[in-house]
Each structure stands twice: as structure tokens, then as C-alpha cells.
Structure 1
Amino acid sequence: MTGARSRLEDERRRTEQHLAALRGDYRGFVEASKDSNADDEHDPEGATIAFERSQVGALVRQAEQHLDAIAAALGRLDAGTYGTCAVCGRPIPAARLEVRPTATTCVGCATSAAGSAHR
């Protein structure tokens, strides 16, 4: 499973870099609106600073959750359960793990009602 570890560690590095950039963007939006009395809610130019800040905030939370999923996958790898479906106990196909290295379920369970909570 050396390939899996390498893939997960690469994914973690990319996600950490992406998260750092998003946090920088978020700080920029906060700074831009800090001492402003502009009514950006009614800006005729389109997207508001508040909207952009909200969007970037959601992306930050999503990246943080992905880092948690990567850590959990590395934990499963260490425990020897990586690549085993959490619902049915069968192997998760290598192609699925290649595309989604943090997957906890096989495709069948991921698409069933029983597996939807474990995707």
C-alpha cells in the first residue's frame, strides 16, 4: 500500500497548500471590508465582498474536512483496513481508490441508501 500512502500524502500536501491560499483570500476579504462603510450589499457591479467572503469561508471548511478525511484514510492504512468497505467489508476497487483515495465504501454501498452516510 506504499502507492496509497504516497497518493494520500500528496493529496494532503495539495490540500494544505490550497487551504493556505484560501485562508489568505479570506483574510483579504475581511481586510477589504474592515474599515469600509460601503454598502456592498447593493453594489451594482455584482458579487459583494460579503458574498465572496462567505464563498471562500465555505471552501475553507470543505478543505478542512478533506484534510480530516485524509487523516482518517492514513489511519485506516496504518490499521490495515484501508481499501475495505466500511459497510459490506469487501475490497474497495483500486480504480475507486485511485480517483477517491479517501473513500470508505465500495461503489455499490456508496450508491445504496445504507452506504450514503459513509461516502
Structure 2
Amino acid sequence: MADEGGTAAARTRLEEVRAAARARLEALDRSFDDVVAAADGANTDDEHDPEGATIGFERAQVTALAEQARQSLADADAALARLDAGTYGRCARCGRDIPAARLAVRPTATMCVECAGRR
């Protein structure tokens, strides 16, 4: 990211990604609280009540989605740190530039397509 315009555009995009992840996490935290409150208000027995399994599944699903949102937030923070350090847009494995098209689709990418395919 040699030019100022590219850096500013990347920062804007990463801040958008970060804000979206933060909003998604907050909504999922509220959903989790709602699922827990519903479970507390119900007289369910996960082992014997068919509704108990549904509540358990909903809780697990919201937890998994919240973890994905936390990871997206962490990825955005790490990308912003790379931008500040001047290493954003450079492959962490081979050191070559990550193509702009890849960063447009996946702004938090840490590797070029070739290296990411070798994982």
C-alpha cells in the first residue's frame, strides 16, 4: 500500500469491516441473552424434552456465530495494525504484494492467493 489514497481507502474499508463485525457481535450477544432467558423461563429438561434440544441447539448456534464475529473483529484489528505498520497488503508467507482484487474481496487477507492455497 504505497500510496496515500490506497492506504486511506484500505483504512476506510477495514473500519467498515470492523464496525460490521462489532454490530454483528452485539446483536448475537443480545440473541444469546434472549435464548438464555427463554431457557430460564421454561421448565425444560434437555435430556427428555424435545424443546430442550432446540434451546440447546439455538444456544450453540448463537455461540458459534458470535465466535465467528469475534474472529472477524480480531482479523480487522490485526489488518489495521498491519496498515499502521506499513505491512498491509504484503503476504505474510512469501512477502510479495497481495493483489488488490483479493484485498477488495477479503480486506483482512494475510496471504496472497498462491500461498493461501498451499495451507
* TM-score with structure 1 setting the length: 0.88
Match of residue 2 from structure 1: 8
Match of residue 37 from structure 2: 31
Match of residue 111 from structure 1: 117
Match of residue 102 from structure 1: 108
Match of residue 65 from structure 2: 59
- Give the residue type in structure 2 aligned to 1:3: A
* Cα distance in structure 2, aligned partners of 1:35 and 1:90: 56
CA RMSD of aligned residues (A): 1.6
* Cα distance in structure 2, aligned partners of 1:38 and 1:53: 14
* Cα distance in structure 2, aligned partners of 1:107 and 1:86: 12
CA deviation after TM superposition for structure 1 residue 35, in Å? 3.5
Structure 2 runs not aligned, ≥5 long = 1-6
* Cα distance in structure 2, aligned partners of 1:79 and 1:108: 24
Structure 1 runs not aligned, ≥5 long = none
Equivalent pairs counted in the alignment come to 112
Name the % identity: 56
CA deviation after TM superposition for structure 1 residue 66, in Å? 1.0
Aligned partner of residue 88 in structure 1, secondary structure? coil
Aligned partner of residue 96 in structure 2, secondary structure? coil
CA deviation after TM superposition for structure 1 residue 39, in Å? 3.2
Match of residue 3 from structure 2: none
- Give the residue type in structure 2 aligned to 1:9: E
Q: Which has the higher contact order (CA 8 A, sep 6+)?
A: 2
- Give the residue type in structure 1 aligned to 2:76: I
